[in-house]
Amino acid sequence: MEVTAHHRLFGGDLKFVRHEAASTGTSMALSVFVPDGEGPHPVLVWLSGLTCTANNFTEKAGAYKRAAELGLMIVAPDTSPRGDGVANDEGYDLGQGAGFYVDATEAPWAAHFQMESYVTKDVLSLIAEHFPADMTRVGISGHSMGGHGALTLAMNHPHHFKSMSAFAPIASPLNCPWGQKALTAYLGEDRTAWQRHDAAALIAQGRASGFDDILIDQGLGDQFLETQLKPHLLEQAASGAGQKITVRRHAGYDHSYYFITSFIDDHLAFHAERLKG
């Protein structure tokens, strides 16, 4: 692990890190905020959306003052493998910057695009080894594609994650153009392989039963709301499964980090309550 930059803020430490990842076979970047104190600290993993890097949340979300007050570590990995020899696509919604937090099985993506394993194995192992983290108290959140990843990884790996939330998540990749394009490329045409990467489908199957609540924030001025995100599918699935979910809709807010920074403190408090209670 190499620390490429280190900044002191709000009594804690923000480190930009690069490491060699076994899952992706590439060098990967992430940021880690460690609040003041000896720890071990509860951890929130943040997953970013399409076209983002490990820096978007770190530089734009305005999360660290409240995280410091709550004693919460925040880990923000990149959205995909990158570099020479890593497959890519001309579209912004596939390839580098668009890993969709799945383990690809199809060529040419399978060689490096193993983002589910990267987050749940490489990232968590790195944090456990090098930082004062309490790995029995880990939550996960994210935005858009990262919101999809946060929800599906939490439900597929409940032994790792104790709380989950999302901003404007892709609720059902089976039922939107972004998801259909990415999952076809990464996993193939057989839609049965897509089921475990669809948050609405997982909730309908009862896979969120170990979580007392799921917090979702959605802007009503979001240009992707009707065509790509479809949060009502999460509510329908939760109603059928008897699962509590809190979907908050906000008039005028769009898909940008202006939306995220407006409500990030609520999500930090949501996770802290569950990880520290």
Q: Quick count: other Cβ atoms within 10 Å of Cβ 117?
A: 16
Is the per-residue pLDDT at 277 higher than 90? no
Triad 128, 55, 194: Cα angle to 5°: 70
Q: What is the pLDDT of residues 133-181, one digit of tens each?
A: 999 999 999 999 999 999 999 999 999 999 999 999 999 999 999 999 9
Q: What is the pLDDT of residues 21-60, one digit of tens each?
A: 999 999 999 999 999 999 999 999 999 999 999 999 999 9
| Phi/psi of residue 158, nearest 5 degrees | -65, -15
Share of the chain above pLDDT 70, in %: 100
Is the per-residue pLDDT at 119 higher than 90? yes
Cα–Cα distance measured from residue 272 to residue 215, given in angstroms and rounded to the nearest whole number = 13
**Catalytic residue IDs:** 144, 222, 255
Do 269 and 70 touch, CB atoms closer than 8 A?
A: yes
Give the per-residue pLDDT at 192.
95
Cα–Cα distance measured from residue 119 to residue 123, given in angstroms and rounded to the nearest whole number = 5
Which band of pLDDT confidence, cut at 50, 70 and 90, is reported for residue 63? very high
Which band of pLDDT confidence, cut at 50, 70 and 90, is reported for residue 242? very high
What does the mean pLDDT of the chain come to? Answer: 98
| Phi/psi of residue 181, nearest 5 degrees | -65, -50
Q: How confident is the model over 249-258, as a mean pLDDT?
A: 98
Assign 238 to helix, strand or coil: helix
Give the per-residue pLDDT at 23.
98
- Pick left, alpha or beta for residue 206 (phi over 0 → left; psi -120 to 50 → alpha; otherwise beta): left
Q: How confident is the model over 186-197, as a mean pLDDT?
A: 96
**Cα 132 to chain centroid, rounded:** 21
Is the per-residue pLDDT at 128 higher than 90? yes
Task: Reply yes or no: is the peptide bond before residue 231 cis, omega within 30 of 0.
Answer: no
Give the per-residue pLDDT at 187.
98
Do 151 and 214 touch, CB atoms closer than 8 A?
A: yes
Give the per-residue pLDDT at 57.
98
Do 67 and 58 touch, CB atoms closer than 8 A?
A: no
Q: How confident is the model over 182-187, as a mean pLDDT?
A: 98
List the helix and strand counts (H, then E) for the chain: 9, 9
Closest CA to 179 of 225, 145, 219: 145
